[in-house]
A and B are shown apart, each in its own frame.
Chain A
Amino acid sequence: MSALLEVSGVSVSFDGFKAINNLSFEIGAAEMRAIIGPNGAGKTTFMDIVTGKTKPDTGRVLWGEFGRSLLAMSEAQIAREGIGRKFQKPTVFEDQSVQENLLMALKKDRGPFAVLFWRPSSADLDRVAALAREIGLADHLGRKSGKLSHGQKQWLEIGMLLAQEPRLLLVDEPAVGMTPAEREHTTAILVEAAKTRAVVVVEHDMEFIRRLDCRVTVLHEGSVLAEGSLERVTANQQVIDVYLGR
């Protein structure tokens, strides 16, 4: 299986501090991967590099069948290539309704003029309604998303991510602020999504990761410490020392 995303030898430093140190990472086209690691291990910086927010000092980030470099692209171009990102803190457009948030995320032409003349067809509205059902917000389509609870905002953001139909989802701590039932639902959505696309989940909650049942990459001080099944990495003495033991 060829890799959808291939990060190799990437380093980045902020004012002398090496946030990412010779990091290499690969993920296939339909694969779930969890990333764990202590605070400051570079998990968020890694996502910043893949989504174009941070440019690495050295290294390559290759994408897709043709191995195109993501480093020359802007954030918006990378997102249009099919990389969707969910932030640690739920960031939805609070002043706009759930429906407007989802419509904005739907995979459509993103150019200003196309958007200016675009009006939702009934198929688009049906798609949004179906997404809203999936994330449990069907009764809230007309509500301003700022009025939603924290967990609902998390879901709305996951819904927006699905609406983008990305080929790679980067999900930062999706389960924060959710009830156990909501966590289970989130797991189900992510597992379902990983059948057709690549999903990378950053999470601290081991129980949540156990339920995802996937390969785990452990980051420490900006590089990969261990990789493999959850059982294998949790048995690794180094991992226990730097992360689990604390």
Chain B
Amino acid sequence: MRNSFVARNPSVLIFLAILALFTLAITVLSEGVGLGLVSTSFVKTLGKTLCLALIAVAMDLVWGYAGILSLGHFAFFGLGGYMIGMWLMYERTRQIVVDSLANAPIPPTPQEISDAIGSQIFGVVGGSDFPVIWSFAHSLTIQLILVVAVPGLLALVFGWLAFRSRVTGVYLSILTQAMTLALSLYLFQNDSGLRGNNGLSGLQNLPHLDDVPQSIVSIWFFWASALALALGYLLAAWVVSGKFGSVIRGIRDNEARVRFLGYSVEAYKLALFTLTAMIAGIAGALYYPQAGIINPAEIAPIASIYLAAWVAIGGRGRLYGAVIGAGFVSLVSSWFTGGQAPDVHLGFYTIRWVDWWTILLGLSFVAVTLFAPKGIGGLVDLWTDRRAPDRHGADLGPDMGSLREREAER
């Protein structure tokens, strides 16, 4: 039983192949570099969906495998977006300011440039000085590090406090939700330094790349998102494949027993919580440049609850289930809420899907939990079960309650 990683996890290879084919197909059909059958806005939607699939993989690690129902992972996602958004907005504004001041009779001093950038960015919240948290906004490298460092650090501190006190189950969910809500409310304030409810905008315009049309930029981000998803999926599959995976699944099923085996349950939870927060940060940093705007409403608790619904509908405890759930539900959701779904006229009442979609989603969440706990991903089992049993060297005959080898091995 010492096969290679791929042989033990055939689903990883299949997933990567499907993702590669999908990326290639969209590239060929795209407006930017291909036949022009897929519009730029739809390429962006798909790219964003890949980012959502990545955070769903992180959620599956922390919930599906370790049993920690975190309702705060969108906070980490949003923080990742804010970190990259700060650089995008600063650099883009600086470029515009420098260009417009270039024709002035007296060359501007650095202080003048800085003030002009400040009033451009913070004028909307009635300020012009850079808050302390923007200290590194001029440096892409530092902001990229912060994309993983800030969510990671928040998760580390929060998780240390929560897990150390042995808060588990629904109480932990409530605590994570409170964290998200607090962060969101804080960012809504104008003096939070991140432009209050205006958020950061214009993120789709990459600095110094004015000549590159959005149709090309969208494909770049689509590729980057696909690559990030592939790497994130590989990492997650590797993490759960070995003994670490055994331990975290053990924690999910019987935390006390894992403790009596000598494993420090808190350290494992903390490591996993922090790792998934960092993955969520990366997903957010790729998502928001495609969305173009980030504001505190994005990290409201409801977003994290949606995330849990995606993973549940897609199938907990299997990574591809999370990807299927995020992809399927978020695309269907944008179809329903985008006004494309036809209204249903009942004579006395008209069902408008924009309003009724959340109810439909809620009902399907309940239905999946009650009737199909394996989710959409469980459908794969129907197919794998139908393969002919491998009886090599098996002595599981009519004895043993007539279990066939495959039935027994599962």
Where the two chains meet, the residues of A that have a C-beta atom closer than 8 Å to any C-beta of B are 51, 53, 74-77, 79-80, 84-85, 87, 91, 93-96, 99-100, 103-105, 110-113, 115-116, 118-120, 122, 125, 139, 141-144, 147, 160, 164
Q: Tell which of A103, A110, A116, A122 touches B263, judged by Cβ atoms closer than 8 Å.
A: A110
Q: Tell which of B1, B253, B260 touches A93, judged by Cβ atoms closer than 8 Å.
A: B253
Q: Tell which of A111, A112, A122, A147 touches B408, judged by Cβ atoms closer than 8 Å.
A: A147
Q: Tell which of A75, A105, A115 touches B259, judged by Cβ atoms closer than 8 Å.
A: A75
Tell whether B246 is near chain A: CB-to-CB under 8 Å.
yes
* A96-B250 CB under 8 A given contacts A118-B243, A125-B1, A142-B1: yes
Q: Are A164 and B239 in contact (CB-based, < 8 A)?
A: no
Q: Tell which of B2, B244, B256 touches A115, judged by Cβ atoms closer than 8 Å.
A: B244
Name B385-399 residues within 8 Å CB distance of A: 395
- Among the 9-residue stretches B11-19, B175-183, B265-273, the one with 4 or more Cβ atoms under 8 Å from chain A is B265-273
Residues of A within 8 A of B381 (CB): none
Q: With A85-B260, A110-B263, A119-B242 given, name 5 new contacts (CB 8 A).
A: A75-B259, A76-B265, A91-B257, A115-B247, A147-B410
6 A-B pairs (CB sep. < 8 Å): A76-B264, A79-B259, A79-B262, A95-B249, A112-B267, A142-B1
Q: Give the dominant DSSP class at B's interface.
A: helix
Q: Are A112 and B243 in contact (CB-based, < 8 A)?
A: no
Nearest 8 pairs between A and B by C-beta?
A: A79-B262, A75-B259, A80-B262, A112-B271, A76-B264, A116-B244, A91-B257, A100-B246
A149 to chain B, nearest CB (A): 10
* A79-B260 CB under 8 A given contacts A104-B243, A116-B239, A120-B2: yes
With the chains together, A14 CA to B256 CA distance in Å?
A: 20
Q: Are B261 and A105 in contact (CB-based, < 8 A)?
A: yes
Where the two chains meet, the residues of B that have a C-beta atom closer than 8 Å to any C-beta of A are 1-2, 239, 242-244, 246-247, 249-250, 253-254, 256-257, 259-265, 267-268, 271, 395, 408-410
Q: Are A94 and B253 in contact (CB-based, < 8 A)?
A: yes
Q: Are B261 and A104 in contact (CB-based, < 8 A)?
A: yes
With the chains together, A112 CA to B265 CA distance in Å?
A: 9
With the chains together, A77 CA to B253 CA distance in Å?
A: 21
Q: Are B253 and A95 in contact (CB-based, < 8 A)?
A: yes
Q: Are B239 and A93 in contact (CB-based, < 8 A)?
A: no
A200 to chain B, nearest CB (A): 15
Residues of B within 8 A of A160 (CB): 261
Which A-chain residue is minimally distant from B269 (CB atoms)?
Answer: A112
* A164-B262 CB under 8 A given contacts A96-B249, A147-B408: yes
Q: Are A144 and B249 in contact (CB-based, < 8 A)?
A: no
With the chains together, A92 CA to B396 CA distance in Å?
A: 23
Residues of B within 8 A of A125 (CB): 1-2
Which A-chain residue is minimally distant from B241 (CB atoms)?
Answer: A119
Residues of B within 8 A of A142 (CB): 1, 408-409
Which B-chain residue is minimally distant from A92 (CB atoms)?
Answer: B257
Residues of B within 8 A of A77 (CB): 264
Residues of A within 8 A of B2 (CB): 120, 122, 125
B1 to chain A, nearest CB (A): 7
Q: Are B242 and A118 in contact (CB-based, < 8 A)?
A: yes
With the chains together, A147 CA to B403 CA distance in Å?
A: 11
